[in-house]
Amino acid sequence: MQSLEVISINLWDVLISLANLAILFVLIKKFLYKPVKKVIAARQEAIAKEYAEAEAARTSAEASRTEYAQKLSGAQDEVDAMLEEATMNANRRGERIVADAQDKADGIIRQAQTEAEMEKKKAQATIRREITDVSAALTEKLLGREMSADDHRAMIDSFLDGIGEEQ
C-alpha cells in the first residue's frame, strides 16, 4: 500500500500548484507580456514609418526622374532648335557669300569687258593711224606727188569705214 500513497493525489497540493500557476501567469502577463507587446507594437510602428518614408522617397525619386526626363527632353528640343537655327543662319550666310562673290565676279567680268573694248578701240585707232600713214606714203610714191594730209586722211577714213561696215 505504500505505493499507492506515492501515486495518490493530494487536493491541497493541486490547489496550491494551480494558485502558483495563476499567480505566475498574472505576474508574467503584467511584467513580461505587456512590455514585450509594447516593444513589438513600437517596432511595428517604426517599421511602418520606415516603409512610409521609403514609399515617399520612391515617389519623390520617381517624380524627380520624370522631371529629369522632361528637362532632358526639353533640352534635346532646345538643342535641336538651336542646331536648326544655326544651320539656317549658316545657309543664309553661305548664300549671301555666294551672291557677293557672284556680284564681284560679274563686276570683274564687266570691268574686263569694258577694258577689252577700250583696248580694242585703242588698237583699232592705232591700226587706223598706222594704215593711214602707210597708205599715205604708198600713195605718194605711186602718184609721185604729194597729197594733202587732210585729203589723204578723208579718203582712207572713208575706205576704212567701208571695210568696217562690210564686217
128 with 160: CB under 8 angstroms? yes
Model confidence over 40-84: pLDDT tens digits? 999 999 999 999 999 999 999 999 999 998 888 888 888 889 999
135 with 156: CB under 8 angstroms? yes
Model pTM above 0.85? no
Say if residue 122's pLDDT is above 70.
Answer: yes
Model confidence over 74-89: pLDDT tens digits? 888 888 899 999 999 9
pLDDT confidence of residue 72: 86
Query: In whole numbers, what is the pLDDT of the chain averaged over residues?
Result: 85
Q: Greatest CA separation found in the chain?
A: 200
CA distances to 57, 79, 135 from 69, in Å: 18, 15, 96
Model confidence over 140-156: pLDDT tens digits? 666 656 667 777 777 77
